[in-house]
Amino acid sequence: MKKVNILIMITIVLLIGVISIPVVAADKLPVVIGLQGPITGAYAIEGEMAKQCVEIAASLINEKGGILDGRMIEIRVVDDACQPKAGALAAMKLISQKDVVAAIQTYGSSVTQPGADLYEKFKKINMAYGAGIVELTRKGYKYFFRMCSSVDKQGNFFANKVVPLFNAKKIAIMHDNQSFSAGLAEYTKIGLQSKIDAGEVEIVYYDAINPGESDFAVPLTKLRETNPDIIYFTGYFPEAALVVRQARNIGITCPFIGGDSAINSEFIKIAGLEMAKGCFMTQEPMPSELSYSKSKMFLEAYQAKYGEIPSSPWAVYAGDSLNVIAYAIDETGSTDSDVLVDYLKNKMNNFNGVTGPIGFDERGDRTGTLHTLYVVNDKGELEIYNP
């Protein structure tokens, strides 16, 4: 009899599940685009901001009368809590809704991965706005696009531009063992290899700290003993801020350069202005620096609604992903994935989005993103560094 109980319970529970699923709108008029992001969990802030950006972008398009002569754009948000399992479910949730024509993918590489596999299987365009690890676009996905740039580009930028700029001989690289930052550190090393072989530079320190922790005195003391010319921290802002503070406290004075996730308004808040100012970061154009016609409009709209401009570049990429997809649909006049893929990869070049001209190469990587070196100025703002 045990089985009976089991089965009854399961069906009851599943029925509850069925009931609770939001009903798919019968009205097919709007073009539905999915957004998968961490609405809850540790990176909830990124998800929240991405949501806001995408909504702004959509509303801007809709105000102009939508796409495909008069069809509005509708956003459907699913939460993946920044966990792979939840990511797979979230992706499934979008895929199973037949009217979702394309998905804007999530923040964090290990979450993007299972999603990308699923979208690929079900032939849905999916565009990642916050997944830096290189492998994603090396697996021959057809329907996967990456709006943000992959870490190797940034690594090379650091190796070829930043290092000479400071004419540094001894370089310390510190990451935090998370997909993105470990990857960036790895590719920076690769980028530096030629110089190392030539004996121009050496990596005197290469180690990881544990994310979520607060005390980095030990690794930093080790680092201090190697007295490097520059420190490159590839991790995220919460740790970055503490690393800077504690590094300065134990008397490390050499320039601190952060990866593109290391420095933002939060960083300055945590590190405190006195410590934060003079810190550098390798970054794709920050929202505040975006000076393209479209970005102005976008940022004004955002500010008008939320009182501040988004502090994270990823969020803006999410918004831009929507722009690109909408544009492609409008141009091709079709919502068929294959048509769109063909258009995005082969026909479209330099669509001017919020984050500048956008195009995609065969692998789905965005072309033409330029990294720049930013510095925190005395007012605690990020400005492009020009010595």
Partner 1 sequence: MTTRDIINNIKQTVKTKQKWPIPVIITLFVFFPILINNSYIIDVAFFLGFYTLLGLSLNIVLGEVGLFDLGHMGFAAIGAYVTAILNTSFGISVVILLPVSAIAAGAFAYLVCSPVIHLRGDYLCIVTLGMGEIIRLTLVLNPFGITGGPNGVFGIDFPSIGTLFVVDNSIKFYYFIWIIVGFVVLALVRLQSSRIGRAWNCIREDEIAAESTGIDVRSYKLLAFVIGAALAGVAGNVYATKLMIVSPESFDFMESCLLFCIVLIGGMGSIPGIIIGAAAISLFPEIFRTFAQYRMLIFGAAMVLMMIFRPEGIWPRKRGAIELKSIMTKAGTENG
Partner 2 sequence: MKVFLEQLLNGLTTGSFYALIALGYSMVYGVMKLINFAHGDLFTLGSYLGYTILVLGTAYTTSYLGLWGGMVVTMLIVATCLALVGTLLERIAYRPIYSSGRLPLVVSALGASIFLENSIMVIWGARPQAYISEVIPAKILNIAGLRISIIQIIILILSFILMSILYYVVQKTTFGAAIRACAIDRNTAALMGINIGTIIFFVFAVGPALGGMAGVLVGMYYRKITFIMGWNYGLKAFTATILGGIGNIPGAMLGGLLLGVLEMLGSVYISTAFKDVFVFLILILVLIFRPTGILGEKVAEKV
Residues that bind partner 1 (CB under 8 A): 1-14, 16-18, 20-22, 39-40, 44, 78-79, 83-86, 88-89, 92-93, 95-97, 109-110, 113-114, 117, 121, 133, 135, 139, 177-179, 182-183, 208
> Smallest Cα–Cα separation from 147: which of 320, 370, 354?
320
DSSP state of 134: G
266 with 236: CB under 8 angstroms? no
- CA-only gyration radius of the chain, Å: 22
Q: Which amino acid is at 112?
A: T
Q: Does 300 bind partner 2 (CB under 8 A)?
A: no
Torsion of CA 339, 343, 345, 350, to 10 degrees: -160
Rounded to an integer, what distance in angstroms lies between the CA atom of residue 229 and that of residue 238? 23
E strand or H helix that includes residue 272: none
Name which of partner 1, partner 2, none residue 43 binds, using a CB cut-off of 5 to 8 Å depending on partner kind.
partner 2
Near partner 2 in 162-201, by CB under 8 A: 177
> Among 21, 135, 167, 207, which residue sits at the site for partner 2 (rule: CB under 8 A)?
207
The smaller minimum CB distance to partner 1, of residues 8 and 250, is found at 8
Q: Does 77 bind partner 2 (CB under 8 A)?
A: no
Q: Does 308 bind partner 2 (CB under 8 A)?
A: no
* Cα separation values, 300 from 47, 50, 62, 296, 309, Å: 20, 16, 16, 6, 8
Q: Which amino acid is at 158?
A: F
Alpha helix (H) residue ranges in 214-306: 217-225, 237-249, 265-271, 273-276, 293-306
Give the shortest CB-181-to-partner 1 separation in angstroms. 9
Name which of partner 2, partner 1, none residue 95 binds, using a CB cut-off of 5 to 8 Å depending on partner kind.
partner 1
Rounded to an integer, what distance in angstroms lies between the CA atom of residue 109 and that of residue 178? 9
Name which of partner 2, partner 1, none residue 5 binds, using a CB cut-off of 5 to 8 Å depending on partner kind.
partner 1
Q: Does 245 bind partner 2 (CB under 8 A)?
A: yes
The smaller minimum CB distance to partner 2, of residues 69 and 225, is found at 225
Q: What is the Cα 125 distance to its own chain's centre? A: 17
Near partner 2 in 22-51, by CB under 8 A: 41-45, 48
> Smallest Cα–Cα separation from 183: which of 236, 227, 144, 141?
236
Q: Does 226 bind partner 2 (CB under 8 A)?
A: no
The smaller minimum CB distance to partner 1, of residues 136 and 172, is found at 136
Name which of partner 1, partner 2, none residue 179 binds, using a CB cut-off of 5 to 8 Å depending on partner kind.
partner 1
The smaller minimum CB distance to partner 2, of residues 58 and 271, is found at 271
Phi, psi of 254 (to 5 degrees): -70, 160
Rounded to an integer, what distance in angstroms lies between the CA atom of residue 302 and that of residue 37? 19
Q: Does 310 bind partner 2 (CB under 8 A)?
A: no
The smaller minimum CB distance to partner 2, of residues 215 and 338, is found at 215
Rounded to an integer, what distance in angstroms lies between the CA atom of residue 102 and that of residue 100? 6
The smaller minimum CB distance to partner 2, of residues 239 and 260, is found at 239
> Among 213, 308, 336, 338, which residue sits at the site for partner 2 (rule: CB under 8 A)?
213
Note the residues at the interface with partner 2 (CB under 8 A): 41-45, 48, 177, 207-210, 212-215, 217-219, 221-222, 225, 238, 241-242, 245, 249-251, 266, 269-272, 274
